Amino acid sequence: MPGEPQDDCLFCKIVEGHVPATIVRETETTVAFRDINPQAPTHVLVIPRAHYPNAAALAAAEPALAADLLLATQEIADEDKLESYRIVFNTGAGAGQTVFHVHAHILGGRGMQWPPG
């Protein structure tokens, strides 16, 4: 069922405290932690506590939670004193999504190229 924790989901396990992570921010609805394979000096993942497979599914089911997720990215960028940064949502394996629990990547602290990938 959408929103319910999934036993086989790495990020659900992080939310539940069963898998360690370097947590940088927690709210009632979100958890943010450092990426274990950073692609920039700042590389933080922001996830909802509820399980949704991707950003579109989250926005369709819980727009307020999607907004909370985006607000958390801004707060983290402010805390890390990022003047510019990129927020990335990968959707589907072909786009590079490897954990199918919606998550925003905050990337900053270096110049970014366009187009990405």
Q: Which domain holds residue 44?
A: 10-94
pLDDT value, residue 33: 98
CATH of residue 14's domain is 3.30.428.10
As a whole number of angstroms, the distance between CA 63 and CA 84 comes to 25
Catalytic residue among 51, 101, 103, 105: 103
Q: Residue 68 falls within a domain, yes or no?
A: yes
- State the total domains in the chain: 1
Q: Residue 107 falls within a domain, yes or no?
A: no
The predicted-structure confidence for 18-71, as pLDDT tens digits, reads as follows: 999 999 999 999 999 999 999 999 999 999 999 999 999 999 999 999 999 999
To the query of whether residue 103 is one of the catalytic residues in this protein, the response is: yes
Q: Residue 112 falls within a domain, yes or no?
A: no
pLDDT value, residue 117: 67
Q: Residue 101 falls within a domain, yes or no?
A: no
Q: Residue 75 falls within a domain, yes or no?
A: yes
Q: Residue 41 falls within a domain, yes or no?
A: yes
Residue 116 pLDDT grade (very low, low, confident, very high; cuts 50, 70, 90): confident
pLDDT value, residue 3: 82
Q: Residue 58 falls within a domain, yes or no?
A: yes
